[in-house]
Amino acid sequence: MRYLPLNDADRAAMLAKIGAAGVDDLFCDVPEAARLDTRLDLPPPAGEIAVEREIAAMAAKNLGTGRAPSFLGAGAYRHHIPAAVDHLIQRSEFLTSYTPYQPEISQGTLQALFEFQTQVALLTGMEVANASLYDGATAAAEAVLMAMRLTRRRRTVLSGALHPHYRDVVRTMAALADAALVSGGARPAGDEDLAPLIDGDTAAVVVQTPDLFGHLHDLRALAAACHENGALLIAVVTEVVSLGAVMSPGAMGADIVVAEGQSLGVPLSFGGPYVGLMATREKFLRQMPGRLCGETIDKDGRRGFVLTLSAREQHIRREKATSNICTNSGLCALAFCIHLTLLGEAGFTKLARLNHRKAVRAADELAALPGVRLLNRSFFNEFTLELPVPAAPVVERLAGEGILAGVPVSRLEPKAPELASLLLVAVTELTTDEEVAALAAGLRRACSEKV
C-alpha cells in the first residue's frame, strides 16, 4: 500500500521490541464480541489509476458549471479563481499544517489569518473579525446566539427575504437556546419593513443584503430602530463580492456582520467546504465565537502573531465556551485572503462593478422577453424574474439542453406555491454575452410553449 511505510520485517521487529506476539495483542482490550473477523462488503485496495478512473467517472456524470452557461447563485457563486490562489493553498506548509497552536512554527498561517481578519473587517465596515466559521449559514446562527448572550433577550426577528437555508440553520440552533423567532413571510418585492416587529424584548434583527431575491437594502433606518430598542442588527451577506460596490453593512449601522466568503477563492464544490465570515464591534469581542489571531512580540522583541482570547473557546472553557466550534475553515480563509490580496483595492472594486454592470445588462435583456417580469429595482449581481409559468420545470428543461438557467425559488421554498414562478438569476464576471443570449432564447422557448 503506497501510503504505508512499514514492511513485514519492520512490523515484526517492532512487535519484538514491544514484547508482543502479534498485533492482536495490542488490541487485547477490545471485548471479544466486538473483534471483527469477517470480511466487510467493501472493495479491495486500488492504485492511483483505478481510483482516478472511478471518481472521474462519477464526476463525468455531472454537468459542471464549467461546461454549461450557468446562472446559478442563491448563496453560492461561480467566480474566476486566479491560478495563483490554488497553487499557493496547495503548498505543503499551508495544506498540511494543523491549527497554529505552536506559534513559533506557525507564523505563516497566523500572519495570513491576521491579514484575513483585517480584510474581513475592512470589507464589512466593522472593527474586528474572527478567523472564520464553517459557512455563512452557521455564522448567522452563531450571530443570533451571540446577540442573545449580549442582550440577555430571547426574541429574534428574521427577515422573510433571508436565504431559506440560513433561516433553517438559525431555527435549528435557536431552538436549542430556547429562542423566540419571529419571521415575516417571503417578500419577493423587496418592500419588507421589519421595524414594526422590533420591541423592547428583541435581541436581534437578522436581515440579508442583497437579499434572497437580489434586492439591496439601506439598513440605516432599521439599525436606528434596533438601537432605540436595545436590539442588535445582524446583517447577512451571501455574495461577498457585493461589498466592493455597495456600502458596507458596518457603515449602515450593523452590529454583527456575517457573510459567506465562498465567492473569493473557493470553488463551488457542490456546496462545501465554504468559509463563514463574522465581524463585529470591538466591545462585543468577548462574546464572539471562533478563533482570533492577535499581534504580539516574541522573546527577542520582534513582531509575531498568536491565537488569542482563547478563554472564550471550548478547549479552555469547556461547557462555558461561547461556542463548541473547534476546526473552522482555515484553508478556505487562506484562499479568500490570497484572492483578495491579488485583487487589491482596484481589482476588487472593479470586479464588483463588472459583476453588477453585466447583471444589469442581462436583467434588461431577459426582462424584455414576453411574459417575463423583473422584480428588482435595485440589485447587485443577482435578480428575480417572474416567469409566466412555474420556474422549476423550465429550469429542468433547459438543463436538458445544457443551460443551467438559475435557481427556481421553489427549490428553496417548496411549501410556498405563490413563489413557484420566480427564478433567481445570477451573473458574474464569467458570464458572456453569448451565454445570456442562450438563456434568453431558452427562456423564450420554454415560456412560450407552456403559455
Partner 1 sequence: MMNHEGRPTAVTPSGDAAGAAPPTFTGNRGLDIEEPLSFEQGRDGVSGVDLEDLPAVEDRLGGLARRAPIGLPGLSEPEVVRHFVRIGRRNYAIDLGPYPLGSCTMKHNPRLNEKLARLPGIADLHPLQPVSTAQGALELMAELGRWLVTLTNMSAVALSPAAGAHGELCGLMCIRAALIARGDARRRVLVPESAHGTNPATAALCGYVVDPVPADATGRIDLAALKAKLGPDVAALMLTNPNTCGLFERDIIAAAEAVHAAGAFFYCDGANFNALVGRVRPGDLGIDAMHINLHKTFSTPHGGGGPGSGPVVLSAALAPFAPVPYVVQDAAGFRLVEEAAATAGEPVGRLKAFHGQMGMFVRALAYMRSHGAEGLRQVAEDAVLAANYLLASVADVMPPAFPGPCMHEALFDDRFLKDTGVTTLDFAKAMIDEGYHPMTMYFPLVVHGALLIEPTESESKDALDRFAATLRFLAERAKAGEAERFLEAPRLTPRRRLDETRAARKPVLRYRPPERPEAAD
> Within 13 A of 150's CA, how many CA atoms are on the CB side?
27
> In this chain, which stretch among 130-138, 153-161, 198-206, 229-237 interacts with partner 1, using CB under 8 A?
130-138
Q: Which of 151-159, 179-187, 197-205, 393-401 is the region at the interface with partner 1 (rule: CB under 8 A)?
A: 393-401
Q: How far is the CB of 421 from partner 1 (least distance, A)?
A: 17
- Phi, psi for residue 312 in degrees, rounded to 5: -85, -15
Shortest CB 21 distance to partner 1, Å: 12
Angle, to 10 degrees, between the axis of helix 330-367 and the axis of helix 433-450? 60
* 144 part of the interface to partner 1, by CB under 8 A: no
Residue 197 engages partner 1 in binding (rule: CB under 8 A): no
Q: CA-to-CA distance for 80 and 350, rounded, in angstroms?
A: 14
Which of 231, 264, 404, 425 is the binder for partner 1 (CB under 8 A)? 404
How many angstroms separate the CA atoms of 353 and 289, rounded?
33
Tell me how far apart the alpha carbons of residues 245 and 355 are, in angstroms, rounded to a whole number: 9
Query: For residue 280, which of 128, 139, 141, 133 has the smallest C-alpha distance?
Result: 128
When asked if residue 159 is in the footprint of partner 1 (CB under 8 A), the reply is no
The grid cell for 225 is: 430602530
Residue 221 touching partner 1 (CB under 8 A): no
Residue 260 forms beta bridges with which residues? 276
Residues 273-302 that bind partner 1 (CB under 8 A): 273-275, 285, 291-300, 302
- Rule CB under 8 A: say whether 31 interacts with partner 1: yes
CB of residue 141 to partner 1, shortest distance in Å: 9
Q: Which of 255, 248, 186, 257 is nearest to 218 (CA)?
A: 248
CB 326 → partner 1: shortest distance, Å? 5
Calpha distance 395→404 (Å, rounded): 7
Closest distance between partner 1 and the C-beta of residue 254, in Å?
Answer: 13
Q: Which of 200, 201, 224, 353 binds partner 1 (CB under 8 A)?
A: 353
| Residue 84 binds partner 1 (CB under 8 A) | yes
Residue 39, CB half-sphere, CA atoms under 13 Å: how many?
4
Among 200, 344, 370, 417, binds partner 1 (CB under 8 A): 344
Q: Does 180 bind partner 1 (CB under 8 A)?
A: no
The yes or no reply on residue 199 touching partner 1 (CB under 8 A) is: no
Distance (Å) of CA 41 to CA 46, 50, 180, 251: 15, 19, 47, 58
Q: Least distance to partner 1 from the beta carbon of 221, Å?
A: 13
Is 390 an interacting residue with respect to partner 1 (CB under 8 A)? Answer: no
| Residue in 259, 261, 262, 264 with CA at minimum distance from that of residue 248 | 259
Please give the residues from 222 up to 261 whose contact with partner 1 meets the rule CB under 8 A: 243-248, 251, 260
Q: Out of 183, 229, 287, 378, point to the residue binding partner 1 (CB under 8 A).
A: 378
